Amino acid sequence: MRVAFATCSAMPEGWVDDHAAARLLQAEFEVWDDAAVDWTAYDRVVLRSVWDYSGRSEEFLDWCRAVGAERLRNVPELVAFNSDKRYLADISVPSVPTRFISPGEALPSIQGEVVVKPNVSAGARDTGRFSSATAALALIERIHASGRLALVQPYLSAVDLRGETSVVFIGGEISHFLAKRAVLREEGTAPVADGDLRVAAAMLEDDLVVAGSAGAAQISVAQAAHAELSARFGTPLYARVDLVDDNDGNPVVSELEVIEPCLYLGTARGSSERLAAAVRAG
């Protein structure tokens, strides 16, 4: 089986976390928007560090469809679903309460501390935490000016105390758990490095994400979310379900990550081997 790991032009050799799995598969790293690549030469094309896609989402989704469901993992239909955060309104599992504000729609009233983000983005770009209604509305207007929808969510204070838990699925089974400290630890728009994605990746704190654990309630919600995706799109090659606690202490989904998430394979023994085996299995 000939395998390509799709990456971006800023990281032509891929992200280091994926290297062990690539070696096991003898996979080649290929830049997703390189017109010289013959994707039909590969049996499997695995989306990995395609971290520039959100700025050109329609072009990226067209490329996914061209590669096709027979080759691309995850499949194009699932990628399209996950590329727009409006999926939070389209899943039945408990998720962070979210209001979706379209361009041209009246600006909402802002009460309490909120998180504002666009419906299409990656890496906390154009995302902020605000107790000031003026600042929150300013970010909403900036998001609208770019043609995107704005999401408004309550800031769940449990994130400051317990952070975020991620459940990583590979080949339909739970592979490992991750613990992530709060990214929006202060008010204001999240700092994001513009330009070279290698610089942005290097800005990540070494201990921002570490090996974690999950309780029965968290596992139950994550499994329900994964089952829902699998029922609609087929079992994903990989999926990362990010969870936070709501104000009553119950786990809710904050994000579903099935396009290009870092899986932090290096935090869990055997996870690179599990990913390689899942690719070979289909």
From the candidates 86, 198, 228, 280, give the one annotated as an active-site residue.
198
| Contact status, residue 200 vs residue 123, Cβ threshold 8 Å | yes
What's the half-sphere exposure (Cβ side, CA atoms, 13 Å) at 192? 15
**Catalytic site includes residue 198:** yes
Burial class (CB in 10 A: 0-12, 13-18, 19+), 199: exposed
From the candidates 44, 257, 260, 274, give the one annotated as an active-site residue.
257
From the candidates 44, 73, 129, 240, give the one annotated as an active-site residue.
240
Alpha-carbon gap, residue 273 to 255, rounded angstroms: 25
DSSP-derived secondary structure letter, 24:
H
**Catalytic site includes residue 274:** no
**Catalytic site includes residue 257:** yes
Tokens found for residue 6: 């799709």
Q: Which residues are catalytic?
A: 198, 240, 257
